[in-house]
Amino acid sequence: MEFSVKHDGGFSYIEEGQGDVLLLLHGLFGALSNFQGILEEFQHRNKVVIPLLPIYEMPLLNATVRGLVDHVHRFVEYKKYDQVILVGNSLGGHVALLYALQHPHKVRAMVLTGSSGLFENTLGGTFPKRGDYNFIKEKTEYTFYDPKTATKELVDEVYEICNNRSKAMRVISMARSAMKEHLGPHLHKLHMPVLLIWGKNDRITPPFVGEEFHKLLPNSELVLIDQCGHAPMMEKPQEFNVILEEFLQKLNVGIEP
């Protein structure tokens, strides 16, 4: 299913459906397509919004996690969303947490999957080598339990990013800033409901990271998905959607009268 990307007010985003806002935040090498399964399933009962985070277009000095938080804040204000339910994968989860810490009144609930902010093993501990397609393919496959999830299209996207000097510099800047933004001491301040969906076979943010988030976030629940890596919404979309639906039902979100 194809969805149109809107370009409005200096923002690029997908917005489909009506109702409570699910705001989906992708990761460092992520894209709008990462959330296709959620979009197709939930657009019929929620307003599903996926902003394209300007990781590769930001001025280098602003290419930080907090730079992305500022972008999300400006976007939410521009769209005049009253409250949102944040869904963040990997770096997107990190952005969601920082946004919630800065603007708790705007966040009704959060769903974090493979989130950074406590610990991450980025692409297996090494940044992909420029020009080495097989190496980048291997490291992209490392993201998933089933290496077949790393389609040629996905590998090609990562390869292009790593071989574009401007984009690669911003990825490095963003990754370094994420490592500096350790959120452990601050998570107790977040009292909104938080659902943690983690792959049991996540090698980038292993299951113990999800367990640590669960300990530190006072109103959280943790669900582990078997035979699943760092991006459950891509690798196990049906199972992910069932878990998300149960969480939203508890919040009384998108329930028809």
> What CATH number does residue 116 fall under?
3.40.50.1820
For residue 152, being part of any structural domain is answered with no
pLDDT surpassing 70 at residue 163 = yes
**Domain range holding 18?**
6-120+181-251
Predicted confidence (pLDDT) at residue 123 exceeds the cutoff of 80: no
Q: What is the pLDDT of residue 235?
A: 97
In a domain, 133, yes or no: no
Q: What is the pLDDT of residue 256?
A: 45
**Considering the domain boundaries, does residue 43 fall inside one?**
yes
pLDDT exceeding 70 applies to what percent of the chain? 93
User: What is the mean pLDDT of the segment spanning 132-148?
Assistant: 92
- Asked if the structure places residue 128 within a domain, the reply is no
pLDDT of residue 119: 85
Average pLDDT of the residues in 118-128: 59
Residue with tokens 């339910």, as numbered in its chain: 85
Q: How many CB atoms lie within 10 A of CB 115?
A: 30
Cβ atoms of 114 and 26 closer than 8 Å: no
pLDDT of residue 121: 63
Q: What pLDDT score was predicted for residue 55?
A: 94
Q: What does the pLDDT average to over 114-130? A: 68
Compute the average pLDDT of residues 138-151.
Answer: 94
Q: Is the pLDDT of residue 122 over 90?
A: no
- Assigned domain for 225 exists: yes
Please indicate, yes or no, if residue 168 is contained in any of the structural domains: no
pLDDT in tens, 169-218: 999 999 899 999 999 999 999 999 999 999 999 999 999 999 999 999 99
Q: Is the pLDDT of residue 1 over 60?
A: no
Total domains, the chain: 1
Indicate the range of 45-49, 58-62, 87-91 predicted with least confidence: 58-62
How high is the pLDDT of residue 157?
92
Distances from the Cα of 145 to the Cα of 31, 129, 138, 190, angstroms: 19, 22, 12, 31
The answer, yes or no, to whether residue 58 has pLDDT greater than 60, is yes
In a domain, 27, yes or no: yes
Residue labelled with tokens 């769903």: 111
- Per-residue pLDDT band for 125 (boundaries 50, 70, 90) equals very low
The answer to whether 150 touches 144, Cβ cutoff 8 Å, is yes
Per-residue pLDDT tens over the stretch 67-104? 999 999 999 999 999 999 999 999 999 999 999 999 99
Do the domain assignments include residue 129? no
